């Protein structure tokens, strides 16, 4: 990183152990948007938009806390930046009741007990998360990052003090609402969804903050927008609104993770299994997603008889489930 270290403020962010900070860094690394995010040597760097200016934060796992380094345009934003880092890494969660509840589950209990520090990745800017969820519909992680990187170059705000390759703030909802649809390199239906969402956010028709708007109202207003379906709404609820019970039964990552566990991962089966994970379905989802990175388990005869044969996904299901999950 090239920015002067003398301008950085160093903090240590405590949490209730255990917390898999390295796992969160890997999650963000797989989705890093060029110009906005970077992971290098186990450190997650990203830009942040704050009340008095921009900044860059760098986060890494410490011995029993998170080591944070913050470069801020204004010292008045220090407390807000630290709070944003805590939200991003889900540091205020007490894992004990979650592990106690999910650790008893017949299907995922052993997985939860073996990885009790797994957290739900959060956000520093809820609007950014919602926009990126739309960009990621039906494309790979790399494809979604590429699309987002193009938006950053075209509509993002350059940082007054960049840190290495972290050079821009993610585009504001207002800047994207004013974008020329013809200049957006994506299918027309996604352009319409992106600009419709950005306009709703910029004009405060949708406010992604449960302190300002009830979650039920947020979800209803999102669903009323073109191109926004239940998957996107649940994903936003999970990561941006802090809904610990959010669940996406049509998610391809959930489907494939459940199939690796020997269960039917189609939406009806996923919904039925997830009933036993309430009120922590968002955390259960992290453990199911993690199965996609784990070595495949030898399938027992009993598991094979429980799992339904995979079928080609219908077009309707494909439009609801996107591939920007692990």
CATH number of the domain to which 149 belongs: 1.10.340.30
Which element (helix H / strand E) includes 297? none
CB neighbours of 79 closer than 8 A, spacing ≥ 6? none
* CA pair distance 99, 118, nearest whole angstrom: 10
What is the pLDDT at residue 137? 86
- Listed residues 43, 67, 93: the one ending a domain: 93
Stretch 161-183: mean pLDDT: 96
pLDDT band for 139, please (50, 70, 90 cuts).
confident
* CA pair distance 118, 109, nearest whole angstrom: 13
Per DSSP, the three-state class of 84 is helix
User: In this model, does residue 21 exceed pLDDT 90?
Assistant: yes
What is the pLDDT at residue 259? 97
For 67, phi and psi rounded to 5 degrees? -85, 120
User: Tokens at residue 312, please?
Assistant: 């080609």
What size, in residues, is the chain?
326
Q: Residues 196-252: pLDDT tens digits?
A: 999 999 999 999 999 999 999 999 999 999 999 999 999 999 999 999 999 999 999
pLDDT band for 295, please (50, 70, 90 cuts).
low
163 and 263 in a single domain? The answer is yes
CB atoms within 10 A of CB 292: 16
Q: Could you tell me the CATH number of the domain that includes residue 87?
A: 3.30.310.20
- Listed residues 93, 126, 153: the one ending a domain: 93
User: In this model, does residue 106 exceed pLDDT 80?
Assistant: yes
* CA pair distance 120, 126, nearest whole angstrom: 14
Residue 22 annotated as catalytic: no
* CA pair distance 294, 303, nearest whole angstrom: 17
CB neighbours of 263 closer than 8 A, spacing ≥ 6? 107, 269, 273, 303, 306, 307
* CA pair distance 95, 12, nearest whole angstrom: 20
Q: What is the pTM of this model?
A: 0.89
pLDDT band for 314, please (50, 70, 90 cuts).
very low
DSSP symbol at 244? T
9 and 115 in a single domain? The answer is no
Active-site option among 20, 77, 105, 251: 251
- Listed residues 40, 59, 93: the one ending a domain: 93
What is the pLDDT at residue 296? 56
Closest by Cα among 217, 189, 141 to 315: 189
Strand 157-163 versus strand 66-72 pairing type: unpaired
Measured in whole angstroms, the distance separating CA 53 from the mean position of its chain's CA atoms is: 24
User: In this model, does residue 87 exceed pLDDT 70?
Assistant: yes
Count up the domains in the chain and report the number.
2
């Amino acid at each position: 990183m090239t920015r002067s270290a003398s301008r950085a403020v160093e903090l240590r962010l405590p949490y209730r152990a255990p917390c898999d900070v390295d796992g969160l860094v890997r999650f963000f690394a797989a989705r890093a948007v060029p110009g906005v995010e970077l992971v290098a040597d186990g450190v997650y760097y990203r830009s942040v938009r704050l009340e008095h200016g921009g900044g860059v934060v760098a986060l890494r796992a410490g011995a029993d806390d998170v080591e944070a380094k913050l470069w801020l345009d204004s010292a008045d934003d220090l407390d807000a930046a630290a709070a944003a880092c805590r939200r991003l890494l889900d540091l205020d969660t007490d894992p004990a009741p979650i592990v106690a509840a999910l650790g008893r589950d017949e299907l995922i209990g052993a997985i939860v007990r073996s990885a009790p520090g797994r957290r739900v990745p959060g956000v520093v800017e809820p609007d950014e998360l919602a926009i990126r969820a739309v960009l990621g519909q039906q494309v790979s992680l790399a494809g979604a990052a590429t699309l987002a990187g193009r938006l950053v170059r075209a509509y993002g705000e350059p940082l007054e003090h960049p840190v290495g390759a972290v050079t821009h703030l993610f585009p504001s909802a207002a800047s994207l609402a004013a974008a020329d649809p013809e200049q957006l390199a994506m299918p027309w239906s996604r352009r319409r969804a992106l600009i419709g969402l950005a306009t709703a956010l910029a004009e405060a028709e949708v406010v992604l903050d449960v302190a300002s708007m009830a979650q039920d109202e947020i979800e209803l207003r999102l669903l009323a927008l073109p191109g926004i379906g239940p998957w996107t709404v649940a994903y936003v609820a999970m990561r941006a609104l802090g809904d610990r019970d959010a669940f996406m039964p049509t998610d391809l990552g959930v489907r494939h993770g459940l199939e690796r566990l020997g269960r039917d991962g189609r939406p009806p089966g996923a919904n039925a299994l997830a009933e036993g994970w309430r009120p922590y379905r968002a955390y259960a989802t992290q453990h199911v997603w993690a199965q996609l990175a784990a070595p495949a388990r030898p399938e027992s005869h009993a598991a094979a008889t429980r799992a339904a044969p995979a079928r080609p996904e219908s077009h309707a299901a494909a439009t609801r489930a996107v591939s920007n999950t692990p």
